[in-house]
Structure 1
Amino acid sequence: MSLMALSLTLVFVAVAVGISMWQRLGMERDIFIGTVRSAVQLLTVGFVLHYIFQSDKPFIVLLILSVMITVATLNAAKRGKGIRGIGLRIGIAITITEFVTIGLLLALRVIPFTSQYIIPISGMTIGNAMVVSSLFLNGMSREAESSAAEVETLLALGATPRQAMHGWLRRSVRASMIPTIDGMKTVGLVQLPGMMTGMIIAGASPLDAVRYQILIMFAFASSAALTSIMLSLMSYRLWFGEKGMLRRSAQK
C-alpha cells in the first residue's frame, strides 16, 4: 500500500467525525486523539519490529514481551480499582498464560523459535488475556453489587470465603470466556479474523492463512481458560477483610 493510498483512508475518520458532529455526540476530540495515537503507535511498533526481526536477539524479545505484559496488566487492573493487590495477580496470570501458550507452541514445533513468530502471536495471546482479565473483574464487580447479601449469609452460616464466593467466581469466569467461545463459533461465518485477512491480503495461500488462524483460535481458548481460572483462584481473597468479612470497598 502506497503512502498516498494510506492517507486516503482518513476518509473513514472523517465519516466518524461527521456522524459525531451531526448527532452532537461530542466525540470529535476523542476520535482525533485516537486517530493520531493509533497511527503513531503502530508506525513506531512497525519500525521497532523491523529492527527486532533483523537482529532476532532473545533478550530483546523478552524485553518486548515484558513491556506487552506490563501494559496489559496496567490496563486490566483499572477494572479492579480499589482492590489492593489485584494488579500483581493480573500480571502473574497473564505472564503464566503467555509462557505456557508460547512454550507449548515451541515445544510442539508448531512455530519456529524466531521473533517473527513469537512476538505477533504473543501480542495476540497477551491481548486476549488482558480482555479476559477485564471481563472477569467486571463480572466480579457486578456480582458484588447484586449478590453481596448472599455471600454474607453463607459466611454467617459457617461457609469459608472460597465456598461463599463459589457462585461469584463461576459466573465471572463464564462471563469472561463467553466472547472467546462465541468468536470460535462464528469465525469464518460472521467474520474473517485479522490475522487470516492480513495473510491473504499479503499474498499467502488461503489454506495457509486458515491453518494459522485455527492455531490462534485454539490458543485463545486455552489462554482465556487459563487466565480466568488463575485469576479467580488468586484474587478471591482480596474481596475479604482480615476477619473474613466481605470488603465493602470492593463493592463500589
Structure 2
Amino acid sequence: MDLEWMLKFLQGMIKPLLATAVVLMAVLLSYFQKLGLECEMIYSILRAFLQLSVIGFVLQFIFSRDRSVWIFLAYLFMVSVAGYTAGQRAKHVPRGKYVAGVSILAGTAVTMFLLVVLNVFPFTPRYIIPVAGMMVGNSMTVTGVTMKRLRDDIKMQLNLVETALALGATPRQATFQQVKRALVIALSPVLDNAKTVGLIALPGAMTGLIMGGASPLEAIQLQIVVMNMLIGASTLSSIVSTYLCWPAFFTPAYQLETKVFSSN
C-alpha cells in the first residue's frame, strides 16, 4: 500500500515539475533585465520544492496515525518556526523571538480552542493542522510587523514619550499612539484582504476546494470560517505582542531603556 502511494506521488509530481517552466521564464527575465535575482529565484523554488515534499510525507504519516498527540507536536513546531521568523523581523526588540512565539501561541491557541468548542472543526489532524498552519502563518507576519513598527515609532518619538513619562504617564499611556499606529499598520493588510476576498482573487482554501471537486457554495462556507479565524488570531497575537514588548522598552522606574533604541 505504501509503495503504491509512493508511485502515485511520483506520478503526481510530473505536473509540478512541468510548472517550473514559468520559474525559468522569471529567471531569464531577471537575467536580461540585470536584476541579479537568478540565484535567489532558483534557490527559493528548490527550497520550496524540498520543503513541501518533506511536509507532504510528514502529513501523510500523521494523517494515517490520526492521533491527537501529533496535532500538538505539529502545532508547537509551526509556532516555534513562526516565532523565530517574526523575531528575526523585529531583531532589535529584546527577546523578540520569545515575545513573538508566545504572542503567536496565545492568539492561535485561543482562536483554535473556540473553533473546536463551537464544533466548527473536528479535532482531528486532517482538519486542525492545515487550519492551524494558516493561522500561525498569518499571525507570524502581523506580529513581526507590529513589534518592529512599535519599536521604530518609539525610537522616532523618544522626546515625546519621555516628556509624557516625566509628566507622570504610565508606559502604556506614553506609548498609546505608537501602539495604536503599529497595530493599525500591521492589521490593515488582513482587513483589506477580508474586504476584497472573492472580488479580486479567490483565496487559497476556496480555490483548493473548488479544484478538488467541491461546489462553490461549500467552498465559500469554509473560506468565511478561514477569514474569521485569521482576523481573530492575528488581532489577538499582535495585541499580546505589544504588551510583552513593554517590559523590554522601559526600566522598572518607568524610564525608556535607551540601549534598546540606540541601534539602527
Q: Is the structural similarity TM-score above 0.5?
A: yes
Return the offset for 1:248: 3.1
* CA distance in 2 between partners of 1:152 and 1:199 (Å): 53
1:57-96 equivalences in 2 (<5 Å): 57-96=67-106
Segments of 5+ residues of structure 1 without an aligned counterpart are: none
Confirm or deny that 1:114 pairs with 2:124.
yes
Q: Indicate conservation of the 8 Å contact 1:161/1:237, yes or no.
A: no
Q: Indicate conservation of the 8 Å contact 2:78/2:136, yes or no.
A: yes
Measured at CA, do residues 49 and 61 of structure 1 come closer, stay the same or move farther in structure 2, by a change above 3 Å? same
Return the offset for 1:21: 0.8
Return the offset for 1:76: 0.2
Confirm or deny that 1:127 pairs with 2:137.
yes
2:241 to 207, 227, 231: 231
Tell me which amino acid in the other structure corresponds to 1:228.
S
For residues 34-82 of structure 1, what are the alpha-carbon distances to aligned partners after superposition, in whole Å with 9 as ceiling and x for unaligned? 0110000001101110111110111122111110000000000012223
Return the offset for 1:242: 4.4
Query: Identity, % of aligned pairs?
Result: 35
Confirm or deny that 1:187 pairs with 2:197.
yes
Tell me which amino acid in the other structure corresponds to 2:197.
V
For residues 76-117 of structure 1, what are the alpha-carbon distances to aligned partners after superposition, in whole Å with 9 as ceiling and x for unaligned? 001222322232222111112122111111111111121100
Q: Indicate conservation of the 8 Å contact 2:112/2:132, yes or no.
A: yes
2:217 to 187, 190, 207: 207
- Count of residue pairs brought into register by the alignment: 252
In structure 2, the partner of 1:149 is 159
2:232 to 218, 222, 225: 222
Q: Indicate conservation of the 8 Å contact 1:173/1:229, yes or no.
A: yes
**C-alpha root-mean-square deviation of aligned residues, in Å?**
1.5
Which one is further off, 105-114 or 234-243? 234-243
Which one is further off, 120-129 or 76-85? 76-85
* CA distance in 2 between partners of 1:117 and 1:212 (Å): 11
Tell me which amino acid in the other structure corresponds to 1:183.
N
* CA distance in 1 between partners of 2:257 and 2:25 (Å): 46
For residues 173-208 of structure 1, what are the alpha-carbon distances to aligned partners after superposition, in whole Å with 9 as ceiling and x for unaligned? 111111110000000001110111011111111111
Q: Indicate conservation of the 8 Å contact 1:140/1:169, yes or no.
A: yes
Which one is further off, 154-163 or 37-46? 154-163
Q: Indicate conservation of the 8 Å contact 1:196/1:213, yes or no.
A: yes
User: Taking structure 2 as the reference length, what is the TM-score of the superposition?
Assistant: 0.91
* CA distance in 2 between partners of 1:101 and 1:172 (Å): 22
In structure 1, the partner of 2:19 is 9
In structure 1, the partner of 2:184 is 174
User: Taking structure 1 as the reference length, what is the TM-score of the superposition?
Assistant: 0.95
In structure 2, the partner of 1:139 is 149
Segments of 5+ residues of structure 2 without an aligned counterpart are: 1-10
